[in-house]
Amino acid sequence: MAEARATIPDFELRREVDMSEVVALRERLGETADQRPSVDDFIVKAVALALREFPRVNGSYRDGRFEGHSRVNVGIAVAAPDALLVPTIFDADRRSLAEIAATAQTLAARVRDGSITPAELGGATFTVSNLGMYGVDSFSAVIYPPQAAILTAGSLRPRPVVDPSGDLVARPTIVLTLACDHRILYGAEAARFLTWLAELLERPRALLG
C-alpha cells in the first residue's frame, strides 16, 4: 500500500448505476436456483466481461512498462479479523454467474476461518472491493501494484432518478468508483470501460451466459 501511494499516479472516475434489473433478476433466480447470486457476484461477472473487452484495464505496470495478461483473474477484497485479504477468482470471464457465486462464498469463508492459501491470494489481474454493506455511498481504494486499476462499490439503496418521461422516481442504484494507474490508462479508455460495465449491470441478462 505504501508503494502504491508513493509511486502510482492515479486518478478516479465515478458512475451511478441503476441496479433495478439486477435486483429483479436476483429475485427471480432466488426462486429457481439453489443459491441466489449476491450483488457482488453480478459486479464480478460484469467486470470480468468488461475486462475481456478492454484488455489494457486488465494489464499491469511492471519494471517501467505495460504488461498484458491472457487470463482475467478478479480479486475480491474480504475483511478478516484485523486484516484485508484479496482472494482470487481465476478465469472469471469464463465462469458462469453461479460458479462465481459459489467460488466467492467459499473463498470468503476460507479467509474468515484462516484456511485460505497463498495460491488463492495471488494472481489477480484486477480487484473489486465493496463496502456498501456498511452504508458507505462511495469510497476510494488503493490500487494493488502492479494492477492497472481497482473498482469499488458503495451501498445499494433507493436514490432519486429521472426516468425517460422526465418524472423523478426512486430506483435502487449503486455508485462505482474506478481508480486507475495513469501510466497504463488514460481517462477516455477508463471512461469507456466504466460505461461498458454500467451497461452490463443495467441489462444483466447478458451476465447469465
Q: Which residues does the annotation mark as catalytic?
A: 182
C-alpha distances in angstroms, 102 versus 36, 40, 108, 142, 200?
Answer: 10, 12, 10, 27, 21
Rounded Cα distance between 119 and 172, Å, is 37
Report residue 35: phi and psi, to 5°. -135, 125
Rounded Cα distance between 71 and 125, Å, is 8
**Block residue for cell numbers 482475467:** 72
* Non-local CB neighbours of 149 within 8 Å, separated by 6+ positions: 57, 126, 143, 178, 179, 180, 181, 184, 185, 190
C-alpha distances in angstroms, 88 versus 18, 32, 41, 135, 186?
Answer: 27, 27, 13, 25, 26
Rounded Cα distance between 133 and 93, Å, is 25
Q: Is 100 helix (H, G, I), strand (E, B) or coil?
A: helix
Q: Name the β-bridge partners of 62.
A: 65
